A and B are shown apart, each in its own frame.
Chain A
Amino acid sequence: MNDSIETLAATAPRRADSSGGRRLPRSLLLGGGMAVLLLALALSAPWLAPYDPNLQQLGARLLPPSALYPFGTDGFGRDVFSRVLFGVRPTLLLVSIVVLLTMPFGLAVGIVAGMAGGWVETLLMRATDLVLALPKLVLALALVATLGPGGVKGALALALTAWPVYARQARAETRLLRNSDYLAAARMLDIRGLRLCFGHVLPMCLPTAVVRAALDLGGMILAIAGLGFLGLGVQPPTAEWGAMVADGSAVIFDQWWVAMAPGCAILLASLAFNLLGDGLRDWLDPRHE
């Protein structure tokens, strides 16, 4: 029997009638559920969408929402509902690219800096500070202007400026852990260098990085949409929410649905990932009751 009386009492739930284990926070369930729904929509768009998102019906331009067109049609006679559904794909794809590139790279830089100390740490952290000081969107614009527009290029450009926060966080945590006894014990058994960094330090830095990534996803969605709005992200005719909002802004006063539908989609997706990140943070933090 390994539950000592002290640990049992310390984890006694707030309400006397709750189930014994750690309860999943509501924000985690809600955010996670919404994220899963988004994924499901992205995967099943071809079957759910009533029309081809790129099918132009010039006789049916700018029609208000109706039974035939749930979100109305845009300036080219394309069904807005279908375009919103298909728009989940580039959004999720590009956001994933950004996060999957930035998180590992930032973690690696931060952990190496924190463990190495000395001039290595100074060098890496000053480089991190430099990139952190650059305005994200402006740099993305500059890169896209040089490399040419495109969804993936835009995502890469954003990734280039998004990694510093992971590096700073990982380095701060690593510095705290650096003097812990379990790392000293590993060093005494000749576990050092990269093996120590990634086998022993990384598992301790990972939870906060994951939480941060989930929270960042919300912001990234807005950034990708921003690039799309400026015409520098995904190129037409591919459906992408930011570009759709741009298209709709020209007719926003009379045909509000063309911008409103993708705008709400951006809002909901962003909210989903923010809730997910919040919930993950609450759940993973052992000090949170």
Chain B
Amino acid sequence: MSDILSLRNVTIRHRAGAHAPQAVSGADLRIANGEIFGLLGPSGCGKSTLLRVVAGLNRFWSGEMRLLSQPVKPGSPLRGVLRQQVQMVFQDPYASLHPRHTIGRALAEPLRRLGERHPVEQAAAALSRVGLLPALLERYPHQLSGGQRQRVAIARALLTQPKLLLLDEPTSALDKSVQAGILNVLSRLRAETGTTLLLVSHDADVIGHLCDRAAWMNEGRLGPALDRAAMVAALPHRHVAGMEPGEKT
């Protein structure tokens, strides 16, 4: 089975210009269909930036990228089928839902864009797939808890039935007990649909719990991908990197 995602020598900057500072340099990555892959690194290492490039949200990159066996050119937005096949769950559940739209609108609008005939019923079905009751369709995001919001965000990302789901620290803003529920949703998702997950986190425990393979990232450099055994051996007990730069001055 061919790779869902392959990156070769990808360099990402924060803005246009050949001399703009690099957020990620020379990244190589291959992710197989159906696996859960983890990107582990401290804040500011560039892992979220890399994820946003794969999502098509950042166009200041160079190198080669193939998504579902199709080449993607730097700077060109994802369109059509490719746009549907890659979706993302953002880190902050308080910021990823539009504050003035009901949950129903947040889910029904993309369904209508896809041409679905019964968007409201489908929205209710999407909610129940992540363990939420249809009554939430009429609520606004500020009336939901953090865990509920994140489940809605996952439900929304799954509306287009993507082959690749990107997750940017999906549980770091949530309580530990709420995090457990979300991780269960993701485990069930992979078991039932075989969706490929690319998960970014600073938490070694979350990576160790969910991922089949992982790679470390630090200061813009992506390390080699490790299989399960190597990953578990390398997962240091609760520490990822050493002191932060600046603390030893």
| Residues of chain A whose beta carbon lies under 8 Å from any beta carbon of chain B | 2, 4, 180-182, 184-191, 199-200, 203-204
Known A-B contacts A2-B139, A190-B110; the reply to A184 vs B90 at CB < 8 A is yes
Does the CB pair B83–A190 fall under 8 Å?
Answer: yes
**A contacts with B: majority SS:** helix
Q: How far is the CA of A2 from the CA of B135 in the complex (A)?
A: 12
| Chain B: number of interface residues, binned into ranges | 20 to 34
Residue of chain A at shortest CB distance from B93 = A181
Q: How far is the CA of A282 from the CA of B86 in the complex (A)?
A: 42
Does the CB pair A181–B83 fall under 8 Å?
Answer: no
Known A-B contacts A2-B143, A2-B144, A4-B145; the reply to A186 vs B98 at CB < 8 A is yes
Known A-B contacts A2-B144, A180-B95, A182-B96; the reply to A189 vs B113 at CB < 8 A is yes
Does the CB pair B55–A191 fall under 8 Å?
Answer: no
**A187: B residues at CB distance < 8 A:** 57
**A185: B residues at CB distance < 8 A:** 88, 90, 96-97, 153, 156
Q: Does B84 contact A (CB under 8 A)?
A: yes
Closest 6 CB pairs of A and B: A189-B110, A181-B96, A203-B100, A181-B90, A182-B98, A181-B95
Residue of chain B at shortest CB distance from A190 = B83
Residue of chain A at shortest CB distance from B110 = A189
- Chain B, residues 137-163, CB within 8 Å of chain A (1/0): the string is 001000111000000010011011000
A182-B99, A188-B157, A203-B100 known; 8 other A-B pairs, CB under 8 Å? A4-B145, A182-B97, A182-B98, A184-B52, A188-B56, A188-B86, A189-B156, A204-B100
Q: How far is the CA of A187 from the CA of B156 in the complex (A)?
A: 12
Does the CB pair A184–B57 fall under 8 Å?
Answer: yes
In the assembled complex, the CB of A111 is this many whole angstroms from the nearest CB of chain B, namely 15
Does the CB pair B96–A188 fall under 8 Å?
Answer: no
In the assembled complex, the CB of A121 is this many whole angstroms from the nearest CB of chain B, namely 14
- Chain B, residues 204-236, CB within 8 Å of chain A (1/0): the string is 000000000000000000000000000000000
**A4: B residues at CB distance < 8 A:** 145
Q: How far is the CA of A189 from the CA of B90 in the complex (A)?
A: 13
